[in-house]
Each structure stands twice: as structure tokens, then as C-alpha cells.
Chains A and B, each alone.
Chain A
Amino acid sequence: MKITPDAIIFLKIGPVSLNATIVFTWVVMVLLVVGSWLITRKLATGTTLSHWQNMLEVLVVGMQDQIRAISRQEPSPYLPFVGTLFLFIAVSIILSIVPGYQPPTGSLSTTAALAICVFIAVPIFGIAKKGFVGYLKYFFRPTPFMLPFNILGEISRTIALAVRLFGNVMSGTIIAGILLSIAPLLFPIVMVALGLLTGLIQAYIFAILSMVYIASATRVHDEREQKYENKKKGVEQYG
């Protein structure tokens, strides 16, 4: 039994190997993109709309609301990134009920890739919002001595993000595999259902945590800076 779909290699040309992770990622991508294209090619702007459009609108509005609730900011800049994280992970996991399918999120490479994306996205959004210097100031708070700890915190939470998703999806797959060998009937189905639930929760958690990190790089910076500035002003004024 293979722990990761990286190990299932369909084609190998030199260092380039086309493994199951990449292939099933493409499958998920095609499903998402073609599905979106099919639904959104004829959108109604009136009061009557199709069920699919309604579903997508509910989904998009739900994601916007979540982002707004977490970041307390306008969700438009973050929606494509965070929303795609959620949709990609959720669809990857939901498709695991299809026989022969290997969820790409069960690969540490995929989760690492997603975590790296978040790791890069956080400073990008922070800099876009605060400017380069403004963002860097965050690492020197509350004192410059905290710089190494702040950097360490950034890296460790990214790794935790990747490992959490990987562990959950992989464990689900592995438990289903183990149970299949012990009790081949009925029980694995329950576990698959449970795996779907935990998988969806993981997708939600991953997207939410990403948003929290991005928000911490934009909004929290504001608050901290504001507090710092106020404190500084107070000292100058009274003291």
C-alpha cells in the first residue's frame, strides 16, 4: 500500500515524472474549470436563475461572508485565492468516493505546495496592503530581538498547515485501507463517509487558516501599528 499518490507514477521522462498527484490534480482542475464555464456561460441577471447558478452564487456569497467575517475587510482581493483553496481541497476530497481515484491532497507534495502558496501569498497581500517597509516592520515588533522568532513563527505555521492537511487526508485514506483489509464490508463505507466529512472540514479549516494568516498580515498589522503609533504619540505628548 502506498502512503502517497506521488508514488504512483504513470510516465517518467528523465527527472520529470507524471505521477498520480499531478494527473488527479488536472482532473480536479478540469472538473472545476469546465463546470464553472458551463454554468457561468449563460448567467441570468434577472430575478429568475438556474439551480446551478443559484448554487454557485450561494457558494460564492458564503465564501465572501466568511472572508469578511474573518478579515473584517472587503473580500474581493482575497476571494479568488482563498476560495480556490477551499474548492480545490473540497473537490479533491469529495472525489475520493470514486473508485480508483487518489486525492491529490493526500500527497504531502500537494499540501506543501498549497502551504507554500499561502506562505508566499501572506507577504504579497501584506505588502500590497501596507507597502514593503510597512510589512517588514511587523517582524521587528515588539522589539527587534523578536525578529528570529517572528520568522520562525511564519515558517512553522506554514509547515503546520501543510502537515495538518496531509495528515488528515492521508490518515483517512490509510484508515479506510486498513479497515478494508480487516472488515471488507460496510465498515469502510462508514469510514469513507466520515473521511468525506473530515476532509470537508479540513478544506474549510485550511481555507480559514490561510485567510487568518493573510488577515494577520493586513488587518492585524493595522491594529498593532495603530496601538504602537498611539503609544508613541502619548509618550511624546505627556512625557
Chain B
Amino acid sequence: MLIDWFTVLSQVINFLILVFLLKYFLYGRIISAMNAREQKIASRLHEADNKRAEAEEERELYRKKNTEFNNKREEMLTQAREEAEVNGKELIEKAREEVNAVKKRWHEALQEEKESFLQELRKKAGRQVCAITSRVFSDLSDSHIEQCMINVFLRKLKNINNAELSKMKESMRTSEKAVSVSSAFEISEDAQQEINHEIHTYLMDDRKIVYGTSPDLVCGIELKVGDYVIGWNLNDYVTALEEEVNKTIEEELSG
């Protein structure tokens, strides 16, 4: 008999034991190791995917930021350019205004200087003319220029027309002030009495007459009754001279 049933039974049991032992020692362990490896690889791949996705996101973010930055930079540059342009225009305008102001000041200063120079010239010329005239008078005749001025003044007073006279009287009536006679030189007592006599004769007023000297008059004499003034002054001639000089200066400057 080829089949031994005891052996068959033993082999069945042996085989079943082998199945269970191998299931525990071989298949189970190998499969779990493979599964663990697969999971590890899958998790690594997943991690790599996540990292790639993160990297993509970050790249996108940075690209966006870069674009924003570029846009902002462009915007800021444009703004700065515009501001610079505006500032430049303002500065040019300001500079122009300042230049104009300086020019104006300079013109004013020049004008003032010119005026003061002319004023000074007028005074000096007046004095000089007066001195020369006085010397000429004294050299050529026995009379003095002062006396001549007093004479001219008195003659002007005598020849005053009615309209001027009424104006003078009106002014005298409204004013409480004393009648003053100013001159560039000291008027002698005799001359004062003569002038007093003439004024009292023409104005028929006993009001006190005050005499004084005024360097502004340069060379001349004047009577002041309130707001009314009458007299003779070299200033008129000097003014004509001044006008001439002024004209010459301007011609020189423009030339």
C-alpha cells in the first residue's frame, strides 16, 4: 500500500503547522515591511508634493510681490518725477520771483541812491551856486547876494496880485500860528525891520514875525503864513539843473 494513513495525517498536521509558522515568520513580516516601506515612500512623495506645492505657492507669492514691487516702484518713480517737475517749476518760479524781488530792491536802492545823490547834488550845487554867485556879486559890485535875495523877495511881495493876496489873508485868518520868514542865511536886523515893515504894510496885521534859518532852502528866502508860502529860492534853478543831470545819467545808462 502506497498510502500510509498515519503519515497522511501527520503530513496534514505538519503542513498546517508550516502554513501557520510561515504566515507568522515570513508572509506577515515581509508584507508588513513592504507596506511600511510603501507608506514611507508614499509619505515622502506626499511630503515632496506638499513641499513642491508650497514652493509653487511661495514662487507665486514672490512673483506677485515682485510684480507689486515693480508696479509700486514705477508708481513711486512716476510720482517722484512729477513731484520733482512740480518742485523744479516751483523752484524756478521762486527763483524768478526772488530775482525779480532782488531786481526790484536793486532798482529801488538805485532809485533811492539816485534820489539821494540828486538831493545831495541839488544841495551842493545850490550851495556852490550860491557861494559863487555871492562871490561874483561881491567882486563885481558892492552889494551882497543875500541883500539881492531880500530885495527880490520884497519886490515879489510888493507885486503880489490880488488873488494871491486874498489867499494869503485867508490863510492868515484861519491859522493861529506866527508868520515865519525862513532863509538859508542869517537876516540882518535892518533887513528884518524892512521885511517887517513891508509885511505889516501889505498884510495890515500886527502879528509877530519869526525869523529862522533853514539849510534845506539852500539859497533863498520864504514867507510862511499858515499853509501859504511865498518866496524866492535858488532851488527852482537847481531843480532844472537836476533834471538835466538826471536826463544825462539816464542817457548814459541806456547808451
Q: Which residues of A contact B (CB under 8 A)?
A: 3-4, 6, 15-17, 19, 21-22, 25-26, 29, 32-33, 36-37, 40, 43-47, 53, 56-57, 60-61, 76, 79-81, 83-84, 87-88, 104, 107-110, 112-114, 116-117, 166
A114 vs B22: C-alpha distance in the bound complex, in angstroms?
16
Contact A57 B15 (CB under 8 A): no
Check B14 for interface membership: any CB of A closer than 8 A.
Answer: yes
Contact B11 A113 (CB under 8 A): yes
Contact A21 B27 (CB under 8 A): no
Interface hit among B33-41, B123-131, B245-253: B33-41
Contact residues in A for B20 (Cβ distance below 8 Å): 80
Contact A87 B22 (CB under 8 A): yes
A4 vs B21: C-alpha distance in the bound complex, in angstroms?
27
The A contact surface, by secondary structure, is helix
Contact residues in B for A19 (Cβ distance below 8 Å): 4, 7
Contact residues in B for A56 (Cβ distance below 8 Å): 26, 30
Contact B15 A88 (CB under 8 A): yes
Contact residues in B for A32 (Cβ distance below 8 Å): 18, 21-22, 26
B157 to chain A, nearest CB (A): 138
Check B12 for interface membership: any CB of A closer than 8 A.
Answer: yes
Contact A33 B11 (CB under 8 A): no
Contact residues in A for B4 (Cβ distance below 8 Å): 6, 17, 19, 21, 109
A38 to chain B, nearest CB (A): 9
A16 vs B9: C-alpha distance in the bound complex, in angstroms?
11
**Count of chain B residues with Cβ under 8 Å from any Cβ of A?**
33
A183 vs B40: C-alpha distance in the bound complex, in angstroms?
58
Contact B21 A33 (CB under 8 A): yes
A44 vs B21: C-alpha distance in the bound complex, in angstroms?
21
Contact B11 A114 (CB under 8 A): yes
Given A6-B4, A45-B40, are A84 and B18 also a contact pair (CB < 8 Å)? yes
Given A6-B4, A15-B6, A112-B8, are A40 and B30 also a contact pair (CB < 8 Å)? yes
Specify which of B2, B21, B26, B41 is in contact with A60 (CB 8 Å cutoff): B26
A114 vs B15: C-alpha distance in the bound complex, in angstroms?
8
Specify which of A6, A76, A117 is in contact with B16 (CB 8 Å cutoff): A117
Interface members, chain B 169-212 (any A CB < 8 Å)? none
A169 to chain B, nearest CB (A): 13
B82 to chain A, nearest CB (A): 63
For B39, the closest partner residue in chain A by CB is A45
A26 to chain B, nearest CB (A): 7
A83 vs B41: C-alpha distance in the bound complex, in angstroms?
27
A116 vs B9: C-alpha distance in the bound complex, in angstroms?
10
A45 vs B4: C-alpha distance in the bound complex, in angstroms?
46
For B40, the closest partner residue in chain A by CB is A45
Contact B7 A45 (CB under 8 A): no
A61 vs B38: C-alpha distance in the bound complex, in angstroms?
13
A19 vs B37: C-alpha distance in the bound complex, in angstroms?
44
Contact A17 B22 (CB under 8 A): no
A180 to chain B, nearest CB (A): 22
Check B140 for interface membership: any CB of A closer than 8 A.
Answer: no
Contact residues in A for B100 (Cβ distance below 8 Å): none
A57 to chain B, nearest CB (A): 6
Contact residues in A for B26 (Cβ distance below 8 Å): 32, 36, 40, 56, 60
Check B29 for interface membership: any CB of A closer than 8 A.
Answer: yes
For B35, the closest partner residue in chain A by CB is A45
Check B10 for interface membership: any CB of A closer than 8 A.
Answer: yes
Given A22-B10, A60-B30, A109-B11, are A33 and B25 also a contact pair (CB < 8 Å)? yes
